[in-house]
Structure formats: structure tokens, C-alpha cells
Amino acid sequence: MHNKAERLKRANPALKANVAPELAHRVPPGQTVTERFPILHEGPVPQYDLNTWTLRVFGEVEEEKVFTYEQLMALPQTTQTNDIHCVTRWSKLDTTWTGVRVADLLPLLGVKPEAKHVMIHADHDYETNMPLADFAREDVLLAHSFDGEPLTDKHGWPLRLVVPHLYFWKSAKWIRGIEFMKEDRPGFWEQNGFHNYADPFKEQRYSGDDFDLPEDEWHGKDFD
């Protein structure tokens, strides 16, 4: 996994795409708009039994909670349409997701006032961090469906995070835990040279300014 981060750092800059003028305000610098949905992940695709699958909430909360899939599905469901942007230079516009808004879930969690940051835990041994203020935004979703159909295994079934305003590595697939924290700490890619915050419109791809932009290596990946 570490080799991928190093390879992306060393990659030659890709050509910037020509974007229709009416879409330019929606596409961050250095991105290519695609109709495809590229599939990028590290390690094998997990397999789950929904009878035993759980989502754990812990850390700076009044009491640790564990949600079953059935309990999450019983909460209010939201369908929303967002543009998404991957650090490997593709953007996909008008993607439609269904799931539980984090803003609707938070009042049930007993988050302590001291909590300022969140770590998302996912299979296999993946973590990614963000400020609680970003996690709590109205458009951040715990998604179980895409375009009206359940997520495929490769896109994060049964549950993934969707954080539209940050590069898509923050939208972790196969999430299993939400940890509320007093202090920030870097997740997996953030420890391996990727930017801690990851605003695509500021091209916050890497932790330093001495790295090139990545190649369009997503062209060679599987896609839907």
C-alpha cells in the first residue's frame, strides 16, 4: 500500500482536461470528467453477512454504541445527488446516493463537547480522518445505495461514507467504525504523504508542495 502513495508522488503531471464552460465551476483543477465509475481500492474486497455486520461508534461519546444494518435502515433515509472527485484525477458529476445523513445520526450518538475530530475505521484496517465540522455537514452521508440500487461489493457494500467536498479517499468504503476524538491524528493515506484535509478545489493532494500531480492511472482500472 505504501508503494502506491510513493508512485503517485513521483508520477508525471497529467494533461488537464477540457471542461465545458458551463461545468467549469464544478470541476476542480487537474481533474478529468468521466461517465465511468472507476473502482480503486487496496487489498481484497470484503464479504459480509448482514446478520453479523455492525457499525461501532466510540471515543468521545457518552456511551459506546453499536448499530446493526437493520437499525441503520430503520433511520430516516435521504437520497442526494453530488459531484465526486478522486485524487487520481477523475471527477464524476451528478452521482446519486441513498443512506443516512450524518447530520441525522449525530443527535443519537451522545457526542461529547470535547470531540473536535473524527476517524473513520473501515475494512481492511483502513482509517481516514477529518474535522468533526466536516463530518457533520448536511451533505455527508452513510450510503448503502447508488443510483437507486444497493452498492456493489467493489463500491463499498453494505455501507460507505460519502464526503462530497473532499477528495474521495475520505469517502471510505466498507466502514465499520466512527471514532470521535479530542485531537486530530492522520489516517492511512494521510500518514503516507497525502494531504490531511484534502480540498479538491485547492488541489490539496499531498502533504508537501514538492510532489507532482498523479497520472491518470484510473484509466487502466476496473469501472462500472
- Going along the chain from its start, the domains and CATH numbers come out as 2-220 (3.90.420.10)
Determine the pLDDT at residue 24.
86
| 61 three-class SS | strand
Residue 184 has pLDDT above 80, yes or no: yes
Cβ distance 24 to 144 under 8 Å? no
Residue 5 has pLDDT above 50, yes or no: yes
Determine the pLDDT at residue 224.
53
Determine the pLDDT at residue 4.
54
Q: Could you give the angle at the alpha carbon of 111 between the alpha carbons of 78 and 86, nearest 5°?
A: 50
In the block, which residue shows the cell 467536498? 165
Cα separation, 100 vs 13, whole angstroms = 37
Determine the pLDDT at residue 187.
96
Which class for 141: exposed (0-12), middle (13-18), buried (19 or more C-beta within 10 A)?
A: buried
How many Cβ atoms from other residues are within 10 Å of residue 38's Cβ? Answer: 19
Q: 3-class secondary structure for 86-115?
A: CCCCEEEEEEEEEEEEHHHHHHHCCECCCC
What percentage of the chain reaches a pLDDT higher than 90? 70
Which pTM value belongs to this model?
0.86
What percentage of the chain reaches a pLDDT higher than 70? 83
Cα separation, 51 vs 54, whole angstroms = 9
